[in-house]
Structure formats: C-alpha cells, structure tokens
Structure 1
Amino acid sequence: MKKIVLIGAGGHCKVIVDLIESLKEYYIFGVTDKKKWGTILNYKIVGDDSELENIYKSGVHYAFICVGTISNLSIRNKIYSKLKNIGFNIPVLIHKGAIASPYAHIEEGTCVMAGVVVNAGSHIGKNCIINTGSVIEHDCKIGDNTHISPNVALSGGTKVGNNTHIGIGSSVIQNIRIGNNVTVGAGAVVIDDIPDNVVSVGVPSKIIKIKK
C-alpha cells in the first residue's frame, strides 16, 4: 500500500480518513497539524507542517490536504504549493460510494465524497472538495481549489471558477457561470451569472457584498 500523510486534523480530516479507508489503496502514515500532538480517528498527529520535508525523505511520497471549510481558501492553495515543491504526489480520491463517469475528468488533489454523482463531460480542477451528496451534472466545468458543499446541485453546463465556495444545499440552473473567488450562501438558488469576487445569497440568489 502507498504511504500517505494527511495535512490538517479538523473535522474534514475525519471524512478524508473514511474515504481513504474505503479505497484500500493507501496506508495513512499520520497527520500533520499546528497542535503537533494527539490523534484523530486513531491516527497519530506526527508534528506540524514543518515536518513535511522530513516525512517525504523518510519514504512517504503521497500527501493530501484535509483543510476543509475555511473563510480564506488561499490557505489550501499555499499548502498545495508547498506539497508540490517538496515533491509529494497528491492523488485524486474518489469514495467507493460516489459515482464518477469515466467520461468526466478530475484533476489531482481533488476529493469526491460519498454519495456524489459526477456526470459525463464534466471537468473538475485541482485541489477541489466535491462534498457529500452533491451532483455535478453533464458538461460542468469547475476551476481549481473550489469547494462544492454537501447536497449542492449543479445543472448541466454550469461553470464555476477558481477559489469559489458553493454553500450547502445550493442549486444552480443550467449553463450558469459563477466567477472566481465567489461565495454562494447556503440554500441559494442561482438563476443568473455571478461575477468574480462577490458574495451572493438567497432565493433567487443576489449579490450582497463585493470582496476586497
């Protein structure tokens, strides 16, 4: 089995552990976290991120980011860049309980959780979270480092940019374009395109804030 180290010991890490155990392909070496000690689901915290180079040199050549819902998605980008610079392989993780079409393309560092459906012609970028029970319909395009929350439904042809967070239970009608660095609030119904760098909420979803 391939040895893998997990980055971040919060709640999202527990779900990634469950996903990895469903695959039976990786051996979890341990978890790094700023608190530096303890365990999570019986896996040892082996230090903070300053230990990553030593972990790689010890023969652990796979890593995965387990930092989940945060207000600043750029943190995930910084961790991703650090892991790549060290030399880690960052795999695609697709839960055994997910359905991903062989005609969909999913890039490295992305996790696809239990109950997700990714349909044909869709493209999901690097370092994304496609969370529990979400539906990515045919021909959707999702950029890098984007979080599609649980029970989100993206209709066919939807395009979502980089560093965007689509809140839990949101629905997006077909062929909508959602920009980069966007937050869509929980339960929103998106029926119009959303530009870059905004927060949009409600039914139907309306822009309430421009991000700096």
Structure 2
Amino acid sequence: MYIFGAGGHGKAIIDLVVSDSEFDVDGLFDDNENGKIMGIPVGNINDHQFSKNQDFHIAIGNNQTRKDLSETFKVNYPKLIHPSSTISKYSSIGEGTVVMPQCSIKAMTAIGRHCIVNAGAIIGHDVTIGDFVHVAPNSAVAGFVNIQEGAHIGIGASVIQGVTIGKWSIIGAGAVVIRDVPEYSVVVGNPGKVIKSVMHHNTTP
C-alpha cells in the first residue's frame, strides 16, 4: 500500500498498516519531502507512476484535501479497520475510510468514502455519515444522526439522537449537539451553539 501524507495522521496510519493490517507500506509520499518517517523514505508523488490496481491511502486529516486528492488520483482505496474496533456486520463502510483503534460502530450505520473514524469514537445505530467526514477521538454519536459531507466532529464531542449536521460544518471539541446544525457552521459549547459560519469547504478545525 502507498500512503500519501507524512504528518501526524500519516504516522497513525503507518502504525495501523504495519502493526495490524493485511497490507504493507510500499511507499510514503508528501509534498514536503523530509528524509524518512518511521523508517520509511518520503518521496514526491509526482515522481511515481501509479496503476489503477495499486492500493493507496490518503492519510491527511484535512477533509477538503482528502477529497481533492481522491478526485485527482484514480487508484484503489481499500478501507482500513483496526482489529480492536467493533463494527456491526449490518453496517457499511466506504472506500478509503479508516476506523482507528477502540471504535464502536453499531447496526445499520452507513459510513461514506474517505472518512476518518478516530480512536475511541462511538457511532450509534442507523447513523448516516457522508463522504470525507472526520469523527475525532472519543466522540459519541447517537442513533439516527445524519452527518453530511465534509463535516468535522471535534474530539470528545457528543451528538444526540436524530440530529442532522450540515455539510462542511465544524463541531468543536467537547461540544454537545442537541439540535440540527446548518451547513458550513461552527458549533461550540454545551449545549452547542452556532458561533459563526465557515467559508465554503474551509473546514480545518
């Protein structure tokens, strides 16, 4: 497997692949080439010729960047799931999505493409998660929640049942979401309140 991204999330992905995956790391690429990361040389992706059958993972925390790269490089994007996570056989997970350690994903939940379900996150039953979403560590999402494309659920945030979180919104760390969140909104606090809007797709938390 080839990995794009040599930052903090990239290191976590390398660790997952090397330690607990059916894949090996065949190459590591980043725009900022910088020697080796965890013993793996970092190269420039523009210097490599890819075939559509090669396995690739976009190890970038920024949701918009993952979307851009997935649309640029038409290769194979297998999902990555840490063996310590519990995932219902009645759920589905899209291509390129990673489920990090100690996550719990309940029945009838559908997770889209190129998402990050980070360490310790709990996803309830009948949840719909769009493409390019990041659910940060120790977040809790109750049943029948709809998280739309590109949203970011901050570390330790809680989302009650039945809520819709609009696309490319940011839920702040520790926020408690008890009502629907409009698209491109930033929500903080307990109970969560919209404090501002974000520019189109500018969802770096």
**What TM-score do the two structures reach when normalised by structure 1?**
0.90
Deviation >2 Å, runs of 4+: 21-24
1:51-66 alignment, distance < 5 Å: 51-52=47-48, 54=49, 56-57=50-51, 61-66=54-59
RMSD, aligned α-carbons? 1.4
1:50 aligns with 2:46: yes
Q: Is the 8 A contact 1:99 1:118 kept in 2?
A: yes
For the residues of structure 2 that align with 1:104 and 1:206, how far apart are their CA atoms?
30
For the residues of structure 1 that align with 2:12 and 2:133, how far apart are their CA atoms?
17
Q: Is the 8 A contact 1:141 1:158 kept in 2?
A: yes
Q: Is the 8 A contact 2:21 2:80 kept in 1?
A: no
Residue 81 (structure 1) aligns with? 71
SS class of match (1:26): coil
Deviation at 1:41, TM superposition (A): 1.1
Deviation at 1:96, TM superposition (A): 0.9
Q: How many residues align?
A: 199
1:161 aligns with 2:148: yes
For the residues of structure 2 that align with 1:33 and 1:159, how far apart are their CA atoms?
33
Could you tell me which of 97, 105, 110 is aligned with 1:118?
A: 105
For the residues of structure 1 that align with 2:65 and 2:141, how far apart are their CA atoms?
25
Deviation at 1:211, TM superposition (A): 2.0
Residues 19-52 of structure 1: CA distance to partner in whole angstroms, max 9, x if unpaired? 112444112111001122411111111x222134
For the residues of structure 1 that align with 2:65 and 2:23, how far apart are their CA atoms?
25
Identify unmatched segments of 5+ residues in structure 1.
Answer: none
Residue 191 (structure 2) aligns with? 204
Residue 91 (structure 1) aligns with? 78
Residues 131-185 of structure 1: CA distance to partner in whole angstroms, max 9, x if unpaired? 0000001111000000000000000111100011010000011111111010000
Percent identity, aligned pairs only, is 39
For the residues of structure 2 that align with 1:176 and 1:141, how far apart are their CA atoms?
11
Deviation at 1:60, TM superposition (A): 7.2
For the residues of structure 2 that align with 1:136 and 1:161, how far apart are their CA atoms?
14
Q: Is the 8 A contact 1:29 1:60 kept in 2?
A: no
**What TM-score do the two structures reach when normalised by structure 2?**
0.93
1:35 aligns with 2:32: yes
Taking a change above 3 Å as real, the CA distance of residues 22 and 104 of structure 1, as seen in their structure-2 partners, is farther
For the residues of structure 1 that align with 2:67 and 2:89, how far apart are their CA atoms?
27
Q: Is the 8 A contact 1:116 1:130 kept in 2?
A: yes
